[in-house]
Structure formats: C-alpha cells, structure tokens
Amino acid sequence: MNLFFYRLFIFLYAIGVNIASLFNRKARLWKLGRIKLFKRLRKALKPNTSPVIWFHCASLGEFEQGRPLLEKLKLQHPSHKILLTFFSPSGYEVHKNYALADYVFYLPLDGEINARKFLSIVDPRLVVFVKYEFWYFYLRQIKEKQIPLILVSAIFRENQPFFKWYGGLHRMMLQYFSHIFIQDTASKELLKSIQITNTTICGDTRVDRVLEIANNWQSIERIEDFCNNHPVIVAGSTWDEDDEVLNHYVNKNIETRFIIAPHEIDEERLRDCLHIYKHAILYSKYLQEKTIDASINTIIIDNIGTLSRLYKYADICFIGGAFGEDGVHNVLEAAVYNKPIVFGPVFDKFLEAIELEACGAAFSVENILELEEALHDLQGNQKLYTNACEAAKKYIHSRAGATQQILQYIEDNILK
C-alpha cells in the first residue's frame, strides 16, 4: 500500500462510519465521541505541567494487554500524567472513567493535520501502542518529534502486509518504533526478515493481568448459591454462533449449572439468550428473587466486568468467538484458574489458544457433537481433567513477567 491508497482508505473509512452511524450504535458512538474532540482535549490538558505518558489501545482486549504496564508506570511515576486513547467505542465506553488514567479520549482519525494537532496538544514524554494499531501519520509525527515510541505485546503473522511485496508503507511504520516487544520467536524471525531488529521477546502482558485478577479474586453475589455443588460450566464472551452449538447440551443437562456471559448485552441479545436457553434467568433478575424455580439451570450474565472472576466457579470453561470469523476471545482469563478450556475451530490468530491446546489445557471442537463429546470426556475422565488443569496452571505461571521486562527497558532507556 502506498500513501495515496492509505489516504483513500482513511477517507472512505470516515464516510463509511458516517453512513453506518445512522443505523449502527457502535458507529454512532464512534462518531459522537469525536465531536469537538480537540477542544475537549485542549481544555483537559491545558492546565497540565507534568510529563505525559500516552497509551493507545484499539479496543477492550488491547487495553487488558496494556493495563498491567500502565498501572506499573503510574505506581512508579506518580508525577507523570497518563493519557489513554481508544479507537473503538467498545474500549472507550467501558473505560472512559478508568481511575488510573488522568485523561481518557477517543483517538482522532489518522491524518496529517489531526496527528500534528494531537501531538502538539499532548506533547508526550513516552508513547506506548498496544499489540495492533498502526496509524501512519501519528507514527511519523511521533518519530519526527523524536518521542520514544514502543509497541508492546505485539505478534506478527506471515500473511500480514508487513511481509508482502505491497507492504512498503507498513514496513515504514514499523521503523518508526524505538523498540518492539513481541510475544514469540516466530514474530522476531519475521521482523528480522524485513530488517527490523530492535525487538525483544517477552510474552503477553495479559498473563500478568489475569494473575493479578486471580490473586485478588472477589466472590460474586449469590453465584455460589446458584452452583450449589453441581457441575458448573461457564461460557464467556459468547455470540449467536456459540449459542447454536451450546444450547442442546445446556437444555438437556438439567443437573449441570451453566453461567452464560454474552459478549454483547444489549436488550435484543439478552432476549435471544433467554429464548434459546430454555431454563434460564437473567443475573439481574436472579439477584431480585429470593428463590428461583427448581428447573432453572442457567444464568445469563447481563452486566460488564465480572467475567474474569466468574471463571473461578467453573469446572469447565467454554470461550466464545471461535465459531465466528473473528476467532476466540480471551482464554487466559479462564486458564489462570487452572480450568480446562473448550472453544470452537477459529483460533489460529491467537498464540495463547494455540499453545494451550498444544499443551493439553484446551480443546478445540468443530461442531455440536464434538463439543458434547469433549464436555462428557472432561467430566467422565478424571485423569484427562486433572492433566488439563495442571497444564493450564503450568502454562500461565511459566509465562508471567512480560510487564516487568518492558518496565525495566523503559526505566533504563527512557524515564531514567
């Protein structure tokens, strides 16, 4: 891709979002969140005289990867201000009041004028981009201003534009980074093949995050009562495609307790869940009821922020997303509790899912029959179950420490 096509992409993207905002809630939030953005940004930062560390995350998942580093930096450099930006509403809307960031904003759409104006207002001492998100004009402007710029928890695949004949602009963007922290050896070798050598393999910072959550775990109101010594399966971040595979097993296994946490919790999605799961109740309603019908075996979680703690109640965890095109969601949140994990067939872009399956902690299934077989095997074969639990535990603890490694680099080279 050359610069002409990149500019065209940005132009068409803006038009597309404006059209989509007429009927799509997320697109509408994306658009509304950027109205008078520079005015609000300038007003917020104008009184500031402290050094600014700018963290940029595409969305919610990337925030969870950057969060351990952000919190460590805030702890060690309380005199610095943290600016947190998101590209997507799903990240911004959940964390716009995040306490450890001094400022939380949407990132203005990439462009020469926007990038110059944004960096003029923010004037950061350090910029941290998390995993994905490569915006040419922002990265170029950061480089021109000689601001330290690092990429953390990055992972690269051979089919990405960086490694194609047409990826000149993408390769240039990588050259703008002061240092790139990557998750695996394969990524390092790919970058080396295009003469990018300022890299360090340190793993995934999300491992540190899930360990922190597990170590500070707090119970969730009345969930223990619902489980009541029954076998428990927690299905997290589920979509319609996951429901179609799960519902038969859920509806026929009345003695098992199921906790379903849909990825989206709008009214229509929750209504669909209550329709497909025949013996279900919304968690909010369950909290209001002193007793529930004995036939109810399923709770539909209709809040945000409890999933990472819910997995602790499970005997087996099902992770949604892998029956859809985008792939499996966060498997580490479940693995940290030493639980066997089951997910669908689309997980090839997620290193942690690949590795958890390879070590015997996770099981990929193609369809309803394979799902039910995997669940029956894990419940009926104690050796298989125990080995999966041990494999998950070993995997998580062997991969801790990425945050400290990145932090040490920053302390030694940037915030001396």
pLDDT tens per residue, range 121-149: 999 999 999 998 899 999 999 999 999 99
Confidence band, pLDDT 50/70/90 cuts, at residue 180: very high
323 in Cβ contact with 240 (< 8 Å): no
Which residue among the candidates 62, 64, 133, 352 is catalytic per the annotation?
Answer: 62
Domain of residue 250, CATH code: 3.40.50.2000
Model confidence at 1: pLDDT above 80: no
SS3 362: strand
Q: Alpha helix locations (H) across 289-414? A: 307-310, 332-335, 351-358, 368-380, 382-398, 402-413
Q: Rounded to an integer, what distance in angstroms lies between the CA atom of residue 108 and that of residue 86?
A: 9
Q: How many CB atoms lie within 10 A of CB 221?
A: 10
| Sign of CA pseudo-dihedral 244, 249, 254, 256 | negative
Task: Specify whether 49 is located in the same domain as 182.
Answer: yes
Residues 103 and 179 in one domain: yes
Domain that holds residue 85: 3-202+401-413
The C-alpha atoms of residue 285 and residue 270 are separated, in whole angstroms, by 12
Contact 86, 57 (CB under 8 A): yes
Q: Is residue 87's pLDDT more than 80? A: yes
| pLDDT for the residue 32 | 96
Tokens (6 digits) for 319: 């992770």
Q: Is the pLDDT of residue 416 over 80?
A: no
| pLDDT reported for residue 358 | 98
Q: For the chain, what is the largest distance between any 2 Cα atoms, rounded to a whole number of angstroms?
A: 66
- Which 3 state secondary structure label does DSSP give 183? coil
Question: Which residue in the block uniquely carries the two structure tokens 């066997």?
Answer: 340
Q: In this structure, are 229 and 242 located in the same domain?
A: yes
Task: Report the first-to-last Cα separation within the chain, whole angstroms.
Answer: 38
- The answer on 92 and 56 residing in a single domain is yes
pLDDT at 73 over 90: yes
- Residue ranges of the alpha helices (H) in 108-161? 112-122, 136-144
Instruction: Please tell me the predicted confidence (pLDDT) of residue 155.
Output: 95
Confidence of residue 113 (pLDDT cuts 50, 70, 90): very high
Q: What is the dihedral of CA 172, 178, 183, 188, to 10 degrees?
A: 60
373 has a pLDDT exceeding 90: yes
Please give the pLDDT value at position 328.
Answer: 97
How far apart (Å, rounded) are the C-alpha atoms in residues 178 and 268?
A: 45
For tokens 């695949």, name the residue. 157
Kindly tell me the burial class for residue 71, based on how many C-beta atoms sit within 10 Å of its own C-beta (0-12, 13-18, 19 or more): middle
Tokens of 111: 């462009």
Which residues on adjacent β-strands are paired with residue 233? 258, 316
**Is residue 153 domain-resident?**
yes
Give percent of the chain with pLDDT exceeding 90. 95
Residue 62 is a catalytic residue? yes
In this structure, are 195 and 234 located in the same domain? no
Question: Residue 257: is its pLDDT beyond 90?
Answer: yes
In a domain, 193, yes or no: yes
Does one domain contain both 239 and 137? no
**In this predicted model, what pLDDT tens digit does every residue of 329-346 receive, in sequence order?**
999 999 999 999 999 999
Tokens (6 digits) for 53: 């560390």
Q: Tell me what pLDDT residue 61 has.
A: 87
133 and 259 assigned to the same domain: no
- CATH code (residue 21): 3.40.50.11720
Q: What is the pLDDT of residue 193?
A: 97
Specify whether 367 is located in the same domain as 354. Answer: yes
Judgement on whether residues 259 and 386 belong to the same structural domain of the protein: yes
Is the pLDDT reported for residue 161 higher than 90? yes
The mean per-residue pLDDT over the stretch 151-157 comes to 96
Average pLDDT, rounded, for the chain: 96
**How are strands ordered across the β-sheet holding 149-154?**
103-106, 81-86, 52-57, 126-130, 149-154, 179-182, 199-201
How many Å apart are CA 380 and CA 378, to the nearest integer?
A: 6
pLDDT average, residue stretch 4-19 = 95
pLDDT score for 132: 82
Polymer length in residues for the chain: 416
Domain-embedded: residue 333? yes
Which has the closest alpha carbon to 329: 299, 359, 300, 352? Answer: 352
Q: Are residues 138 and 257 in the same domain?
A: no
CA atoms lying within 13 Å on the CB side of residue 251: 12
Dump pLDDT digits (tens) for 266-320: 999 999 999 999 999 999 999 999 888 889 999 999 998 899 999 999 999 999 9
Determine, yes or no, domain membership for 63.
yes
Number of CB atoms found within 10 A of residue 351's CB: 17
Residue 410's pLDDT is 97
Does residue 370 surpass a pLDDT of 90?
Answer: yes
- Average the pLDDT over 168-190 and give the result: 97
* Percent above pLDDT 70 for the chain: 100
- The tally of domains found in the chain comes to 2
Contact 58, 130 (CB under 8 A): yes
Per-residue confidence (pLDDT) for residue 294, from 0 to 100:
87
